[in-house]
Amino acid sequence: MSATIASPASAPVRDAGWSTQTGQVFRRWMVGTARQAWGPVMSLIQPIIWILLFGQVFASLGAFPAFGDAGYLAYLVPGVLMMTVLYSGAWAGTGYIDDIRSGVMDQLLTAPISRTAIITGQLLQQLVINLAQSAIVLGIGWLGGARYPGGLPGILLALAAATLLAAAFCSMSSAVALTTRNQVALIGLSQTVVLPATFLSTTMMPADLLPDWIAAVAAWNPLTWAVEAGRAGLDGTAFDGSGDGLLVAGRMLLLALLAAASFVWAVSSLRSYQRSA
């Protein structure tokens, strides 16, 4: 999502510290979001359909022991939560492509502003949007009949997992956008990654009910890591001493490492863009 503002080069950033620069970039993108709020709102239609429609259509699946006593809807909500984050994150780079086309990116790169601040400010804006969407998805799930035995700690854990997943895929999308500089290429690559990642995971079905080869792939899928961490938090098994706590810690560590590596890739892609501009 592009934000229309005055020339970034005219901003008083010459003597500002990194945190101030990051805050100015963050504010710029948040202003753009406020002006085009329909985008984040429209992206909530899909999770509403998944939860309220698919949750009812496949409610009978809850009779399988693999779904536990809470039913299929409670199993589905964490998956829909992470799917929403994944889909939103895949589009994060479109704002950079708009900036490249409009010349705003060149103005940013000629301003005395840290390259990591440019990436971090936009990433923080994406994470704020994703956090708000994630909270709404959990609210929709609760209204649909899902319950969260994990309570507030479980909800916070699910939101933390969603945020790490968002950080990873938003950074990846930004890196691809800055590398390809092409909207069509970004859309094509996003669809190539998003759809297989969704179905080669445990978002809708537990690993026990998946074909062996899909279950093997799902174990290495970041979407599965986030879903399993969020699901263990919401159903409370992350805190009951059953051993899921260690699994969750491992999944969160993997997500954090992926987010860090993706961020480094995005910063490197921005610097490569600057050298070639």
Structure tokens at 124: 């923080």
**Distance, first Cα to last Cα, the chain:** 22
pLDDT value, residue 11:
43
Band of pLDDT at residue 144, cut at 50, 70 and 90: confident
Cα 1 to Cα 27, 46, 229, 258: the distances in Å are 14, 19, 29, 24
Mean pLDDT lowest among 22-26, 46-50, 227-231: 46-50
Is the pLDDT assigned to residue 155 strictly greater than 50?
yes
pLDDT value, residue 123:
96
Q: Name the pTM for this structure.
A: 0.88
Cα–Cα distance between 94 and 174 in angstroms, integer?
Answer: 8
Cα–Cα distance between 233 and 183 in angstroms, integer?
Answer: 37
**Helix, coil or strand: residue 148:** coil
Task: Name the packing angle between helices 115-144 and 72-90 (round to 10°).
Answer: 150
Structure tokens at 171: 């950074």
Q: Provide the total of helices (H) and of strands (E) in the chain, helices listed first.
A: 13, 0
pLDDT value, residue 81:
93
